[in-house]
Amino acid sequence: MIFYDWTIILILPGLLLGLWAQFKVKRAYAKYAKISTSRGVTAETVCRDMLSRNAEMSVSVEPVQGRLTDHFDPRSNTLRLSEGIYGSPSISAVGIAAHECGHALQQSDEYKPLLLRNTIVPVVRFGSIAYFPIFLIGLLASWEPLLYAGIICFAATLVFSLITLPVEFNASKRALTALRNGNYMTEEELDGVRAVLSAAAMTYVAAAVSSLLQLLRLLLIAGRRR
Ligand SMILES: [Zn+2]
């Protein structure tokens, strides 16, 4: 089988890094989900206050179903917090909600990497689905232009995961700054938020590493066909 040669080993480091990052996030989240901030303010209230103080635009805050489905929707300027986060005053909940506020603040400031990421989403969505059949047909037909067309499609995924890195790190940085300025928690509790958010950031690093290795693998397979 063409796809199960030695180059599959290249995928392993990314996979292991991803699993390790997920384990770290789960552990940090569980630890700080049990500890309420001493001020006892819920994630929802923190977000409303933080956004009214720091955002140039008006952002609505509403609950959304699901577990950890929290996100900022840039089309409707809505911050959606999941059931377990919305009404919770835990360090984890406030931290994750503040991170999502960070994305809303990026939008409000027209932070360039976020705008760029939003712009390329349709291309990335197409590329991530199309690359595999295109590459595979190129491989079966031994037709080089098609192989490289598949690789270019996949490269969009790598570009996306690389742009995601500054966007995510910056959202967490904004979250920590706003949490400190708003005096929503103590310095010690902020360390807990930092632990949860840096563990979450590692999952994005793992995704970028995985994409990079996968691209390398496709190039190696294509190069061998010459
Ligand atoms: Zn984020």
| pLDDT tens digits for range 142-151 | 899 999 999 9
**Cα separation, 196 vs 162, whole angstroms:** 21
Whose tokens are 């197409």? That residue is 126
Mean pLDDT of 48-60: 94
Q: What separation in Å is there between the alpha carbon of 51 and the centre of ligand 1? A: 16
Q: Is residue 1 part of a domain?
A: no
pTM for the model stands at 0.91
| pLDDT tens digits for range 78-137 | 999 999 999 999 999 999 999 999 999 999 999 999 999 999 999 999 999 999 999 999
Q: What is the pLDDT of residue 2?
A: 53
* CB-CB contact of 27 with 208 (8 Å): no
Q: Is residue 159 part of a domain?
A: yes
Q: Is residue 23 part of a domain?
A: yes
Q: Is residue 43 part of a domain?
A: yes
| 2-to-19, 107, 138, 198 alpha-carbon distances in Å | 26, 44, 12, 38
Q: Is residue 133 part of a domain?
A: yes
Amino acid type, 122: P
pLDDT band at 219 (very low <50, low <70, confident <90, very high): very high
Q: What separation in Å is there between the alpha carbon of 173 and the centre of ligand 1? A: 11
Q: What separation in Å is there between the alpha carbon of 10 and the centre of ligand 1? A: 27
What's the domain count of the chain?
1
Whole-number mean pLDDT of the chain?
A: 94
Q: Is residue 130 part of a domain?
A: yes
Q: Is residue 216 part of a domain?
A: yes
Q: What is the pLDDT of residue 6?
A: 83
Q: What separation in Å is there between the alpha carbon of 168 and the centre of ligand 1? A: 5
Q: What is the pLDDT of residue 107?
A: 95
Q: What separation in Å is there between the alpha carbon of 113 and the centre of ligand 1? A: 13
pLDDT band at 1 (very low <50, low <70, confident <90, very high): very low
78, β-bridge pairs: 60, 73
* CB-CB contact of 167 with 159 (8 Å): no
pLDDT band at 5 (very low <50, low <70, confident <90, very high): confident
Residue 3 has pLDDT above 80, yes or no: no
| pLDDT tens digits for range 164-215 | 999 999 999 999 999 999 999 999 999 999 999 999 999 999 999 999 999 9
Q: Is residue 198 part of a domain?
A: yes
Residues noted as catalytic: 100
Q: What separation in Å is there between the alpha carbon of 48 and the centre of ligand 1? A: 18
With a pLDDT cut of 90, the percent of the chain lying above it is 90
Q: Which domain holds residue 153?
A: 6-224
| pLDDT tens digits for range 7-45 | 888 889 999 999 999 999 999 999 999 999 999 999 999
| Closest by CA position to 168, among listed 45, 1, 25, 8 | 25
